[in-house]
Structure formats: C-alpha cells, structure tokens
Chains A and B, each alone.
Chain A
C-alpha cells in the first residue's frame, strides 16, 4: 500500500502561534512583602485565555523582556486573573514594576492542577510554604465552595518570617471560619509575633485528619514540600494521595522546549501538580 503524503500546508499559518502572548491590562498592584506583589489583570481586547483551574499556571510576558511561569491565584469567569510575583530575575522584576493601566502578555492556562474531585469524601490537608500559598488559594476556595463534599479541612501555612506571609488579610478571614482549620507558622519571629514559630511540619501533629482517608496538597520550596510530604506519609497518608506542585525552568510551557524535565515528567505538561509517590525516587537524588 502507498501512504498518502500529507497535503502541503499554507505558507502562512492562519492560527495565532501557540507561544504568542495575549495582551491584558493591569488593574491593580498590591504589595505583599518587600519582594512580592500581586497583580490583578483583565483582557484588554476580545481575546482571552480559557479560565484556569486551581493549580494551573500562566506564562506572563513583560514586553521586550521575556516570559515567566506564574501560578494563577485567582481567576474569575469574567476573565480577571490574579498572579502573585516575586522579584527574583529580569522578567519578574519587570512584571513587579508594572503599574495599573500597563499591558502584560498572557498565555495559558497550562499544566495539571490540584485534583480536587479526587479528594472528595475524605479529609483534606493543605500545606503551603511561602509563595506556595498563591497556587493553593484557588484550591482552598474550590474546596470551601463545595464544603459538604469533604471531611475535615486543615490548612497549614508556613513562611520564613511574619513579613514573608502573603495574603495576610485573607488569612485572617480564613482563620475566623469554623469549617476549616487554618494554622500559620513562621521559622523565626521577633517579639511582635504572637503566632506559632517552628518549621511548617511542626504544625502537623496539631492537625486533625484521618490519614488513610486524607488527600494532601502541598506547595512551596522543594525541600519544604519533600519534608512535608514525608511527614504526611509518616502519619499514614497514602503517598499517591499526597500531591505536590513542582517548579522548574520553563520556556515554552507546552512540552516542546525540554527545560522543565524532572525525571520522566515535563513539569509544564504532566504537572506542575504531581503525585508524591511518583516524585519521591527523584526527590531523593540531588540535581535531577
């Protein structure tokens, strides 16, 4: 049999390039910590990205500077997006310097988010470290919006110091809720801090959950996630029900550029949220 060659494609591809950013306009900028800001943005024209699911991320583009992968911390059906950005490099510095009315490019949403439906019927433990809270925030809201579907809900948020806590006002409203237990801890604090002090895992003994029936969502720096996931596993939470959100260098976000590989996974496409059971052998090795 003869295979048919594919028909020649048109010289100009009519589809917008998959890596092309879509212009959004900055509505507001909130300073969270000395090096972190929260941007609220809206589509500036008719084109917009699909509504992200909790745990997904976007590529944010600063004109003439470049792109950075930033998790989505809020997304409204009207197309408004909230991203919290920490100044660490050229692109994030440019993003953090944006002011209301400025244009920012967006493409996305990318990746697999938190498997909230899989957690139904059992207890949920959410552990966030530092800037791990923004990608977990939409997951917490999704759980609270269908609260009766879950058992006990525990949220533990750890940061380096009190000034490194983000969404401080929102944390206070969460703490007042009776249908979720919210613990905050910092690694070290001055006398002006009346909350808990100790690494994030020290709060776990106080959390109430039934380990075999618990799903855990963990996000933060890699060491913090590894320690937290191990502590959860030690408590008896099944390793395949512990989910962590990995972070790696991303250029394309669609599994074509190779940068974000972690073992067999493309973090951009297969993650960022991945099962601890699949990650554990690689987390145990340096520089994978």
Chain B
C-alpha cells in the first residue's frame, strides 16, 4: 500500500506531536480536528495539540453520549462525536450567489469560496468512506457542486485509526473500518502501550509525504507496525453493533409495507437528528434572502432533512405526511436506494444516528426486524 516514495512508516513520539502541527502549517494548511466543547468531542479549528481531547473518551449507547476521563493521556482515545467532516465541505448554510436587479432585468454574482486549505486531522476510517460517498454525490453526476468541489480540492485527509470501538459502531459490518484502507493522505495510529506514547505515521499520497518529510521522525520499527495492526484488530473485534448487509437493498424494496414501519413510526419523533449527524446525508434546500430595499437577493443553501414535513411539499401539501413514510424514506434511501443512485451504501457504520436519536432508534435493530416476515399480512389492506 505504501509506496517507496514515502520512505515507509515513521514513528513520532508523543512529545514531538506539536512538530506535526507545525509541519501541517508549513505545508499551508489550517488544522481542524477534534476538541472538547459543550460536553462533546466536536470538530473545529485547532490552535495546538492542547486543543485535542487529551485524556477524554466517549461512551455511547442508543440515545446516549457521555464524555469520560480516560486513565491515560490519549489524544485520539474516543470514537466519533456529533459532528462530521461534511460541514467543512458542505456547510450547513452557504450563500450560493447574489442576484441584483439591473434595470428591468437582473444579474447574478457568483460567490467566492474560502481559499483556506484545511488539514482534517483525526478522520476515522468510516469517515473517509463517508467522504468517498459524498464525493460521489456531489461530484459523481453530470453536474458537480462547485462549492463542494472547490473545498474538496483544498483538504488534506489525516486519518487516525481507531484504538477503540464505540458502543454504537458497526464499521466492520459496512466494510468501512476500523483500519484505514483508501482515501487518506496520511494515516496515523496512536500507540499508548507497550512502550512510550507514540504515533505511527504512514504517507499515502504525495501531499501526505510532503508533510511527513518535514518531520524528524525515524523509520518505524517492525514491532510498531505489528502493534498498529493489533490495535486495529482489537477495535474490529469489539464493535458495539453489527448489521447484516446481505441483500439489504432488495430487502428494503420488498418490505415497504412491513408492519415494523408502524412500530418504528410510533417511536420516531421526526426530529431530524439522525440526518443532521449523518456523514453522508446531503439533502439541502434553497432560500431567497432579499435585502431591505428588495434590489438584491442572496440565494442561500442550507441543510434540509427528509424528516421535515415541507421536504416533499407538492401543490401545497406534503407527499410524505406520516412519520412512518419519512422514517421509511430515510432508511430505505440510506441502505437501499443509495445503491441504485450512487453504486454504494449511504451508511458507513459510524453509529451516530443511533447515539444521537433522542429515543434511541437503532437502524441495525430495525433492519433485523424487517428481516422477520410479518406474522400476518392482515394489516395490509386489500387492493
């Protein structure tokens, strides 16, 4: 996997991790990564190593997320938080262009995109898979999204392999982790023991190698490479959840009238949390924001959710009025029709939708329930 041009894996002691920040900056990147805020580990601008969630971990279950102190001083000793990297490429709110009255006509001024180059520090394997999914969504069709594409061209993907699995993680089922395979510029593995706290670095692209070249890091010992492999294997064996993906696209196509949808609809609040925390949900709406004179209008795009009633408004009424139909749309799209549309699942197994669901709806349990044939079809109205 690692080409000869990278010089192979390197090891960097924890004490020298600030030098990595310096190397990223020297290569022209601003750094965004994990930091503790409001009782959660979120992704935001980082000034230095001290901004990382040192010694913190997260405990996650369906509908439950808590930060806890670790017994060590790990920098990346958590799984994933409520934020995703998506917001750096596809912002929650974005001005697309400005339209100005021009006599009887109008003119359109395009929006400049922020030229800042971002190093996304701490991307998990599942999140790299999520990036590939959104790449297909925003860049794979006939028309590429200009804002996404511009920002996408300016990022450096710094992955950190997971040293532990969260309680709602199921990346093994989705084939997206926990080991990083593709899609990163740099891959880090945090080694806490045995021996001193240190990091294994691998460059996967020229951009990653450029950063690594700035570090005075010795070639990694074979033992460190083996340890990194063991860490990933241990994480893989401790997944909090699993999902049987066999034939799931067909399953969801054939169970649109399954009584389980009534069951989940009784629990679902249509709060949109699952879509807001999902790394691949891409739905958006547009808004016209006129100035006070009415001469200039800004066109804004903002995240939308298939759980919103107005999402399917047609001729003054919603197509998907029931909560049932909206949850069904979300799940059948994410795990089913996404394959038809983009040649991949829309789910990367990060478990955020389970953790951040206020009533703890667990899609892995819903899929398992849909696999059970209904006891009676009497609920289905004769047609």
Give chain A residues whose Cβ lies under 8 Å from the Cβ of B207: 5
Residues of B296-330 contacting chain A, CB below 8 A: 297, 299, 304, 306, 311-316, 319-322, 324-325, 329
Q: Evaluate contact between A287 and B320: CB separation under 8 angstroms.
A: yes
Give chain A residues whose Cβ lies under 8 Å from the Cβ of B230: none
Over the window 255-286 of chain A, the binary record of Cβ atoms lying under 8 Å from chain B Cβ atoms (1 yes, 0 no) is 11111010110100100000000000110111
> Given that A2-B3, A103-B104, A287-B325 are known contacts, is A13 also in contact with B145, CB under 8 Å in the complex?
no
> Given that A2-B6, A16-B108, A101-B104 are known contacts, is A63 also in contact with B284, CB under 8 Å in the complex?
no
Counting chain A residues whose Cβ lies within 8 A of the other chain, the interface size class is 35 or more
Q: Evaluate contact between B340 and A258: CB separation under 8 angstroms.
A: no
Q: Evaluate contact between A261 and B142: CB separation under 8 angstroms.
A: no
User: Is A8's beta carbon under 8 Å from chain B?
Assistant: yes
Give chain B residues whose Cβ lies under 8 Å from the Cβ of A16: 108, 110
Q: Which of A6, A13, A286, A288 contacts B110 (CB 8 A)?
A: A13
> Given that A12-B112, A17-B97, A103-B105 are known contacts, is A255 also in contact with B311, CB under 8 Å in the complex?
no
User: Is A37's beta carbon under 8 Å from chain B?
Assistant: no
Give chain B residues whose Cβ lies under 8 Å from the Cβ of A9: 113, 149-150, 153-154
User: Is B253's beta carbon under 8 Å from chain A?
Assistant: yes
Among B46-54, B233-241, B286-294, the stretch that binds chain A is B286-294
Q: Given the complex of chains A and B, what is the CA–CA distance between A21 and B149 in angstroms?
A: 21
Over the window 137-157 of chain B, the binary record of Cβ atoms lying under 8 Å from chain A Cβ atoms (1 yes, 0 no) is 110011101100110111000
User: Is B244's beta carbon under 8 Å from chain A?
Assistant: no
Q: Evaluate contact between B205 and A2: CB separation under 8 angstroms.
A: yes
User: Is A144's beta carbon under 8 Å from chain B?
Assistant: no
Residue of B nearest to A264 (CB): B340
Residues of B114-161 contacting chain A, CB below 8 A: 115, 117, 137-138, 141-143, 145-146, 149-150, 152-154
User: Is B99's beta carbon under 8 Å from chain A?
Assistant: yes
Give chain B residues whose Cβ lies under 8 Å from the Cβ of A266: 341
How distant is A266 from chain B, measured CB to nearest CB, in Å?
7
> Given that A21-B99, A287-B325 are known contacts, is A7 also in contact with B206, CB under 8 Å in the complex?
no
User: Is B379's beta carbon under 8 Å from chain A?
Assistant: no
Q: Evaluate contact between B319 and A287: CB separation under 8 angstroms.
A: yes
User: Is B333's beta carbon under 8 Å from chain A?
Assistant: yes
Q: Given the complex of chains A and B, what is the CA–CA distance between A44 and B103 in angstroms?
A: 12
Give chain A residues whose Cβ lies under 8 Å from the Cβ of B96: 17, 19-20
User: Is A175's beta carbon under 8 Å from chain B?
Assistant: no
Q: Given the complex of chains A and B, what is the CA–CA distance between A224 and B306 in angstroms?
A: 26
Residue of A nearest to B6 (CB): A2
> Given that A9-B153, A63-B101 are known contacts, is A15 also in contact with B146, CB under 8 Å in the complex?
yes
User: Is B57's beta carbon under 8 Å from chain A?
Assistant: no
User: Is A3's beta carbon under 8 Å from chain B?
Assistant: yes
Q: Given the complex of chains A and B, what is the CA–CA distance between A62 and B284 in angstroms?
A: 20
Q: Given the complex of chains A and B, what is the CA–CA distance between A40 and B127 in angstroms?
A: 49
Q: Evaluate contact between A287 and B112: CB separation under 8 angstroms.
A: no
Q: Evaluate contact between B282 and A256: CB separation under 8 angstroms.
A: yes
Q: Given the complex of chains A and B, what is the CA–CA distance between A249 and B325 in angstroms?
A: 16
Among A64-72, A133-141, A198-206, the stretch that binds chain B is A64-72
Q: Evaluate contact between A64 and B312: CB separation under 8 angstroms.
A: no
Q: Given the complex of chains A and B, what is the CA–CA distance between A287 and B383 in angstroms?
A: 16
Q: Given the complex of chains A and B, what is the CA–CA distance between A181 and B304 in angstroms?
A: 46
Q: Evaluate contact between B105 and A66: CB separation under 8 angstroms.
A: no
Q: Given the complex of chains A and B, what is the CA–CA distance between A45 and B96 in angstroms?
A: 22
Q: Evaluate contact between B304 and A258: CB separation under 8 angstroms.
A: yes
Give chain A residues whose Cβ lies under 8 Å from the Cβ of B219: none
> Given that A20-B97, A66-B288 are known contacts, is A12 also in contact with B306, CB under 8 Å in the complex?
no
Contacts from A to B (Cβ < 8 Å): 1-9, 11-13, 15-21, 23, 25, 44-45, 63-67, 88-89, 101-103, 105, 247-249, 251-252, 254-259, 261, 263-264, 266, 269, 281-282, 284-288
Taking A2-B209, A20-B99, A21-B106 as given, write out 10 further A-B residue pairs in contact, using a Cβ cutoff of 8 Å, ordered by the A residue number: A2-B6, A3-B205, A8-B115, A12-B110, A15-B146, A16-B110, A66-B286, A249-B319, A257-B304, A281-B256
Contacts from B to A (Cβ < 8 Å): 3, 5-6, 96-97, 99, 101, 104-108, 110-113, 115, 117, 137-138, 141-143, 145-146, 149-150, 152-154, 185, 203-207, 209, 253, 256-257, 282-286, 288, 290, 294, 297, 299, 304, 306, 311-316, 319-322, 324-325, 329, 333, 336-337, 340-341, 383
